[in-house]
Chains A and B, each alone.
Chain A
Amino acid sequence: MLPGRSRTSVLVFLVPPLLLYAVAVALPILQSLVLSFFSWDGVTDLQPVGLANYVKMFTADPIFWKAFANTMIYLAVCLFFQLGVSLFVANLLSYAGRGKEVAKTLYLLPAIISTVAIAFLFQRIYSYEPPGLINQILTTVGLGDLARPWLSEVNTVLVAVSAPEGWRFTGLYMLILYAAILAVPKELEEAARLDGASTWQVFAHVRFPYIRPVWVTTMIMAATYSLRGFDIPYLLTNGGPGQASELLTTYMFKTAFRSTDFGYASTIAVFIVIECIVAVGLILLLLRRGTDKS
């Protein structure tokens, strides 16, 4: 039990942010939930429709399912960069000597560049006419046949819009994982090495188990950010061509602000919130299982 005075100070410090959270986060989610049971174009009166929006979403809207599948691929590409590549780079950095600081800064740089600038940058990188960086490199190395309009082909566009988002935050997660690796006791690693463990074995049996909680936290951050990803795909292709790079978020945006169907858009928003909660739940389950095993 906290003494009376500190309880007051705890309240004084905790209540304002909680109120802010309630007003800025919980309330809009609740409003979306309410709105999802209505049909509303923003101009005329709300029409209660019961579960019709949910029924439509789950049973009669192929674009929703296409967007959901796209979101999963988008998530996979982002996680590949933000959990896989960042872990790899963080490991490499821990062995690096001079220039480590410069490398860290360079990796972190994309995280602080504005999204619009990144979108423009990648639009040029992927460009076919005039040839952008990727197509130029392919032509130079004699793989000109592989050159293509990456953002226009339905088979390549989704990965092409996912990669910039993944790449962008790789540096940030790398930094978090690098800090975790630094905290791994050196004596453990040295003991393992003395016992003849290879670099891979040191990583797999000493380092990784040690940094696992941090890696899972990173996974939660990366997964929820990716599930909410919107800006880069929206700016690069606006979900196109067709719905080849349509994500749940871009579809929700279009439903609200192009089709002026705020009720149905809220239904998709509720789905996104639940999807994020489920994702976090699954990851935590993964963590618990891992901990139980070890």
Chain B
Amino acid sequence: MKKPFAALAGAATALALALTGCSGTVAQPSPTATEIVPRQISWLLSRPADGSVITIVKKLADEYAATHPGFSLNLITTPDRPSYLQKLQTLAAANQLPDLFDTDATPFTQKLVKQGKLVDVQRMLTDLGLYDKYRPLALDYQRFDDGGLYMVPFEFELEYFWYNKALFEKAGVSVPKTLDDIVSLCKPLRDSGVIPISVDGQDGWPLLRYMSYQPFRIAGPDYIDKLKKGEAKMGDEVGSKAVQWMADLGSNKCFQDGFSSQGYTDARDLFTSGKSAMYQIGTWELASLTNPEVPAEVRDNTDFFTLPTTEGAVTADNEYTVVSGIGMAVNQQTYDPLMKDFLKFVLENYSERLAASGHLTPMKGYEPTIPAGSSELYKRALAGVDDLGEKIAFPWDTKLDPTTNTLMQQELTLLVQGDSQPATFEQKIDASIAENAPKFFG
């Protein structure tokens, strides 16, 4: 009698496990389903918790939930980028990607695309009737080399060099016309007792921005696409020029002493406290550069210039680094009528609200509201958007294979500090690209 009972119990357990297993897996939306069934949607983000994007999306989700009982948006943010990427990669490895998640157009994301895990955003936006409303540059920033678009932009920011007019005057220097001029400004500025440029050296990306400038001016935006695949070499003429320029910035003491252990806010604070004369950052920091808490002698003297040019530059003065921030990818597996409807609602209303919060928008036709009490610089800086060229100086950290990216950031610090020579730098980077690029671009 015992045995059949045991078999029955076993079968029941197996059935129970199978049932719970089914309910535990991600619901597979039927491709033909058209009915909107409200449920919870999760969005894994890497954005500041109190920033405009999260604040606005939260508000929009509440409004959507009011008309769709049973719907809720679960926002999980990890602003620290390395920690975020760790989380994302772990989820991807476990095949547990959330409905929506933030990512750049990196080689890793491209692998997810090749696996068919992401919704084709170009098709989705066209389908929602929104594609043509976006600024082409905002979408271009999110594209892969092959033109594929798999992320939705939520920001649009211009990157400038901010400088302190009073400190420039005191040192007897003027706004640099060329990239080489920046190097020659450093000595007079140092002699006048100020730090020429404050930089966040703790995070690798700001130095990598500097690294991208010479090649963008001399060889255009395609250079990095060739370099990352090993078709161009760091030791070539263009690469060497960039490497030498970085070494010159270091040997002329352009950056603050100990920059490599100083973080994002340290660099900004050096500028807003009047200790440094220049600071490269995007318009997302406009509020902190122009707000009334910044000492008047700094705030009233802050101005900006765009990326200086070089002799024989192939890109125009009005072409520089423009970013539309980390993008939002949509999980193909869970993309259902509800997601489509919710995204349409959010994207249709988002840009208007973002403009009202004083930011440029990824969509065209929205005028940012300048916050009360901010200086006239705010308006002038944002006006740059009306005179943008067609090419973008892409940040290299989204382009290079991840191993070379990490290595280049580390080696740049050593190069600028004078702990490594240009030739060593070039040789290490070329070797890393030769070894690692085939894994991602082969």
Interface residues of A (CB under 8 A from B): 41-44, 123, 126-129, 148-149, 151-152, 154, 236-243, 254, 257-262
**Interface status of B10 (Cβ within 8 A of chain A):** no
Distance between Cα atoms of A154 and B258 in the complex (Å): 11
**Interface status of B321 (Cβ within 8 A of chain A):** no
8 Å CB contact of A41 from B195, B201, B275, B439: B439
Distance between Cα atoms of A93 and B372 in the complex (Å): 62
Could you mark each residue 252-272 of chain B with 1 if its beta carbon is under 8 Å from any beta carbon of chain A, else 0? Answer: 000011111110000000100
Distance between Cα atoms of A115 and B381 in the complex (Å): 40
Distance between Cα atoms of A154 and B85 in the complex (Å): 28
Note all chain B residues with C-beta closer than 8 A to A259: 402-403, 406, 436
- Contact indicator B258/A128 (Cβ below 8 Å): yes
The residues in B between 379 and 424 inclusive whose CB is less than 8 angstroms from any CB of A are: 402-403, 405-406, 410-411, 413-414, 417, 419-420
**Interface status of B89 (Cβ within 8 A of chain A):** yes
Note all chain A residues with C-beta closer than 8 A to B259: 152
Given contacts A43-B112, A129-B270, A149-B257, A261 and B417 within 8 Å (CB-CB): no
Interface residues of B (CB under 8 A from A): 82, 85-86, 89-90, 92-93, 108, 111-112, 115, 195, 201-202, 256-262, 270, 275, 402-403, 405-406, 410-411, 413-414, 417, 419-420, 436, 439
8 Å CB contact of A123 from B261, B270, B405, B436: B261
8 Å CB contact of A260 from B108, B261, B417: B108
Note all chain A residues with C-beta closer than 8 A to B417: 152, 154, 241
Given contacts A242-B414, A257-B89, A128 and B257 within 8 Å (CB-CB): yes
- Contact indicator B112/A238 (Cβ below 8 Å): no
Distance between Cα atoms of A133 and B241 in the complex (Å): 40
Between A and B, 19 residue pairs with Cβ closer than 8 Å are A43-B93, A43-B111, A43-B115, A44-B111, A123-B261, A129-B275, A151-B260, A152-B260, A154-B414, A154-B419, A237-B260, A238-B202, A240-B260, A241-B419, A243-B410, A254-B406, A257-B82, A260-B89, A260-B402
- A70 to nearest B CB, angstroms? 13
- Contact indicator A236/B261 (Cβ below 8 Å): yes
Note all chain A residues with C-beta closer than 8 A to B90: 42
Note all chain A residues with C-beta closer than 8 A to B195: 129
- Contact indicator A43/B403 (Cβ below 8 Å): no
Note all chain A residues with C-beta closer than 8 A to B115: 43-44
Note all chain A residues with C-beta closer than 8 A to B261: 123, 126-127, 149, 151-152, 236-237, 240-241
Residue of A with least CB distance to B195: A129
- Contact indicator A43/B410 (Cβ below 8 Å): no
Distance between Cα atoms of A41 and B436 in the complex (Å): 12
Note all chain B residues with C-beta closer than 8 A to A261: 403
Note all chain A residues with C-beta closer than 8 A to B257: 128-129, 149, 152
- Contact indicator B406/A241 (Cβ below 8 Å): no
- How many Cβ-Cβ contacts under 8 Å join chain A to chain B? 93
- Contact indicator A151/B258 (Cβ below 8 Å): yes
Note all chain B residues with C-beta closer than 8 A to A129: 195, 256-258, 262, 270, 275
8 Å CB contact of A258 from B85, B275, B420: B85
Dominant secondary structure at the A interface: loop
- A243 to nearest B CB, angstroms? 6
- B285 to nearest A CB, angstroms? 20
- A205 to nearest B CB, angstroms? 46
- B418 to nearest A CB, angstroms? 10
Q: Taking each of B93, B112, B261, which has the highest tally of chain A beta carbons within 10 Å of its own beta carbon?
A: B261
- Contact indicator B82/A258 (Cβ below 8 Å): yes
- Contact indicator B413/A43 (Cβ below 8 Å): no
Residue of B with least CB distance to A56: B435
Residue of A with least CB distance to B258: A149
Distance between Cα atoms of A42 and B93 in the complex (Å): 4
**Known contacts A154-B414, A261-B403, then 18 further A-B pairs from the complex at CB < 8 Å, ordered by chain A residue:** A42-B90, A42-B93, A43-B111, A43-B115, A44-B111, A123-B261, A148-B258, A149-B257, A237-B261, A239-B410, A241-B261, A241-B414, A242-B410, A254-B406, A257-B85, A258-B82, A258-B405, A259-B403
8 Å CB contact of B410 from A151, A240, A257, A260: A240
8 Å CB contact of A241 from B86, B403, B410: B410
Question: Top 10 closest A-B pairs, CB basis?
Answer: A149-B258, A42-B93, A151-B261, A128-B258, A242-B414, A259-B403, A152-B258, A257-B86, A241-B260, A241-B413
- Contact indicator A42/B89 (Cβ below 8 Å): yes
- Contact indicator A242/B413 (Cβ below 8 Å): yes
- A15 to nearest B CB, angstroms? 21
Note all chain B residues with C-beta closer than 8 A to A149: 257-258, 260-261
- A227 to nearest B CB, angstroms? 22
Residue of A with least CB distance to B202: A238
Given contacts A126-B261, A128-B257, A258 and B403 within 8 Å (CB-CB): yes
- Contact indicator A262/B406 (Cβ below 8 Å): no
Note all chain A residues with C-beta closer than 8 A to B406: 254, 258-259
Note all chain B residues with C-beta closer than 8 A to A148: 258
- B44 to nearest A CB, angstroms? 15
Note all chain A residues with C-beta closer than 8 A to B85: 257-258
- B205 to nearest A CB, angstroms? 12
- B12 to nearest A CB, angstroms? 24
Note all chain A residues with C-beta closer than 8 A to B82: 238, 257-258
8 Å CB contact of B402 from A43, A123, A237, A258: A258
